Amino acid sequence: MPERNRPHRLTRRTFAVGAAASATLAALTACVENSDSQSTPTATVPSTSVAEPTPTQGTIASPVPAYEDATKWLGRTLSIATWGGDFESAQGEAFFRPFEAQTGAQIQTKNADIARMIDQVDTNAVTWDLMTIEMGRVLSLAREGYLTPIDYNIVDKTPLIPEFALQHGVGMACYSTVIVYSPALVAQPATWSDFWNVSPPVEGEASDPAQVRTLPHTAVGTLEFALLADGVSVDDLYPLDVERAFANLNRIYPNVPVWYEDGKLPIEMTIAGQAGMAAGWNVRVDQFGEDEAIDMIWDGGMIAGDAWVIPAGAPNADVAMDFVNFATRAIPSANFSRLVPYGPVNLNSFPLIREDHHPLLPTSPENLDVQFIQNWNWWSDNLEEVQARFNQWIIDGPPPAE
């Protein structure tokens, strides 16, 4: 990653002021929820209207270089498992239909389900050729033999962010978990230390919404934010100091009434004035349009993403591998980011995206510079143990003060 040697706190509000003449930036998302999390309390929030998904730009119709033979895969059908909704609609416009037009292949979409993919491989009855999953799941599934290695003689990883070119998966698009806040309740934060700077609630008194925080019901990211709040530098985050992270989480625990699973919840609570700050996905913030009740900063955000993977034993692995190369080229990647506020993995995509849209994308140079990328290796090695401890800690709460 680039050196993080300068502050950059361009928020959605300051962007809107500087680009008032641009189109309304609003996009729905279908991020994959963490299927391993336990249930959490549910906050009651007023109904919040969601802006209709509006592309920032139309897609580029130019053919992808080296994909100009409309008979290349004529007669072949590619089965792709994805997650539906506007996320899949954007995939269709940016990836699926152009690949069909430029290679002659036919694409069928299926409802993604990791357990079903595992069952297909276990029973030697694989019918899916390609799937999108969280980057954080790639290593564990690969170690268990469920994924086909990526052939980087076919997939050109040269222009891709290196952390998103794994042995068994290639990044599709990126999103970030960032600090979101209510300008009506709190001053603009600069770091996770500001997020942690709270006064504990007083027993018997109503909570001050400005002192309320919301965090995800997952150790992934939450431990990193706790360490950043405690003064650990981004460059020194990994391997995570788990004990230090839990010690700092103990400090903020009384101010977190809800450890959420639904990615909309922290945004809804912040807009409703029920929380001063929250950790939330940038794509969920944009889902609600240019709402004056919420803002966000990129500093200290954690970049994650979704990956293209090929199940072991996929019947059309050759076509799938070529599709992965196609989908990660500059034009298709730019087209996806022109439709929804995910960052492209191909850094050559940015010249194809309107410049005033760059500040809203997680992997634009100015935003990449002040964030960190989730360490897939560390979490693959430690997730089960650390998440189990985290789940129990949420139930038990901090240990009694000595």
Question: What is the residue extent of each domain of the chain?
Answer: 12-30+175-304+379-396, 77-174+307-361
- Residue-wise pLDDT for 262-289, tens only, equals 999 999 999 999 999 999 999 888 766 5
Mean pLDDT over each residue of the chain, to the nearest integer: 87
Q: Which residues contact 154 (CB under 8 A, 6 or more apart)?
A: 321, 322, 324, 325
| 334-341: average pLDDT | 93
Question: Quick one: pLDDT at residue 146?
Answer: 98
CA 381/CA 134 separation, integer angstroms:
16
Query: Matching CATH topology for 12-30+175-304+379-396 and 77-174+307-361?
Result: yes
Q: pLDDT tens digits for 156-171?
A: 999 999 999 999 999 9
Residue 30: pLDDT band (50, 70, 90) is very low
What is the C-alpha separation between 352 and 177, in angstroms, rounded? 25
pTM of the model: 0.84
CA dist 135 → 163, 166, 296, 385 (Å):
10, 9, 24, 19
Dihedral angle sign, alpha carbons of residues 356, 361, 362, 365: negative
Q: Which of 334, 380, 369 is nearest to 173 (CA)?
A: 334
Q: Mention the CATH class of domain 77-174+307-361.
A: alpha beta
Over the stretch 89-101, which tens digit does the pLDDT of each residue have?
A: 999 999 999 999 9
pLDDT tens for 348-388 read 999 999 999 999 999 999 999 999 999 999 999 999 999 99
261: pLDDT strictly greater than 80? yes
Strand (E) positions, 10-91?
Answer: 77-82
As assigned by CATH, the class of the 12-30+175-304+379-396 domain is alpha beta
Q: Are strands 77-82 and 106-111 parallel, antiparallel or unpaired?
A: parallel
Percent of residues, the chain, with pLDDT higher than 90: 78
Q: Is 177 within 8 Å of 281 (Cβ atoms)? A: yes
In terms of C-beta density within 10 A (0-12 exposed, 13-18 middle, 19 or more buried), how is residue 153 classed? exposed
CA distances from 258 to 44, 52, 177, 281, 330 (A): 11, 28, 17, 16, 40
Position 245: which residue type? A
